[in-house]
Structure 1
């Protein structure tokens, strides 16, 4: 049975729930809703699992806060004995227009502190990441306020369709593989 660790990056707590920075959590919540599963608090995060087409998907929302996500990722990779090639990290990206999708097999942190910590803890950049565009519609020096700000009305209207697409991406990653998933979804 192949296992996959799908990590949505975000910050714990009600005040962060609807923020742009928490898109990783929001996507995993959409997946859990679609599969009719719930999260339970475990060591270093909230975990939920489901099976699809002979694969086990382990969904992780780290409880370590965004900038310290690496510890939770490493713990669950080791605990579940999951290789790096079966790891997918989901995070926000300021360099992409709202809702834009960019899947990559490896790469730098691109200034994202969650990815920076994961790279440092795992001592590699060779893992799949799904970057969800949140755009860069903020004034100079207001980046933190923007990513920790809530979705605007236009984004809220478009978000459900993007969440549905994200659920498809996760399942495709586990069943069709990263390359096929990138070919199918990048730029959509």
Structure 2
């Protein structure tokens, strides 16, 4: 069984710990805990890991958030991954900070990264792990909010949520999405 795990974000040090980069942060935490490394490849930073008889392919697209679908489509084709074995990790404004939800499908909900994936794949029926970043911003300041670093208070709590998100990724691939939803959705 092969799986493609795509953590969404933007490349560059100015985006490193911003809310929009939570997908990258989840994959970086998984890599640190499980001793695999990312290397720069076509359209993404890529890592591979075998665990419990499963082949994991991780990507952090270098296409920037709004063109994430291009890298995802490329690696789905490259590794011959069916859409039900794709998991996209994305920030979610509509969930309170630290709330985690895994779903088998859904709408883009105004998220430009998900919108692009939906356009390129031709469907919204692919699994996603939504990581709540809250929505504590004045009207019309959404872009500023998602591109700002997490607050000191959020950073002091974030490791536990990153660990849980990593557990959700592994559960999705080894035990299935229904198990992950039943045991982790808050």
TM-score (norm 1): 0.98
Equivalent position SS for 1:70:
helix
Aligned counterparts, 1:171-186, within 5 A: 171-186=170-185
Aligned counterparts, 1:100-119, within 5 A: 100-119=99-118
Aligned counterparts, 1:103-142, within 5 A: 103-142=102-141
Spell out, residue by residue over 1:128-185, the C-alpha distance to the aligned partner (whole angstroms, 9 max, x if none). Answer: 0000000000011111000000010110011010111011001000011001101110
Structure 1 segments of 4+ aligned residues over 3 angstroms from their partners? none
Q: How many residues align?
A: 186
Q: Supply the RMSD in Å over aligned alpha carbons.
A: 0.5
User: What is residue 154 of structure 1 aligned with on the other side?
Assistant: 153
> For structure 1, which runs of at least 5 residues remain unmatched after alignment?
none
User: What is residue 164 of structure 1 aligned with on the other side?
Assistant: 163
Aligned counterparts, 1:44-83, within 5 A: 44-83=43-82
CA distance in 1, matches of 2:165, 2:33: 11
CA distance in 2, matches of 1:132, 1:164: 12
Equivalent position SS for 1:30:
helix
* Pair 1:31-2:30 in alignment: yes
* Pair 1:85-2:84 in alignment: yes
CA distance in 1, matches of 2:81, 2:61: 17
CA distance in 2, matches of 1:94, 1:107: 15
Equivalent position SS for 2:74:
helix
CA distance in 1, matches of 2:170, 2:127: 14
Equivalent position SS for 2:96:
coil
CA distance in 2, matches of 1:158, 1:39: 25
CA distance in 2, matches of 1:37, 1:129: 22
TM-score (norm 2): 0.99
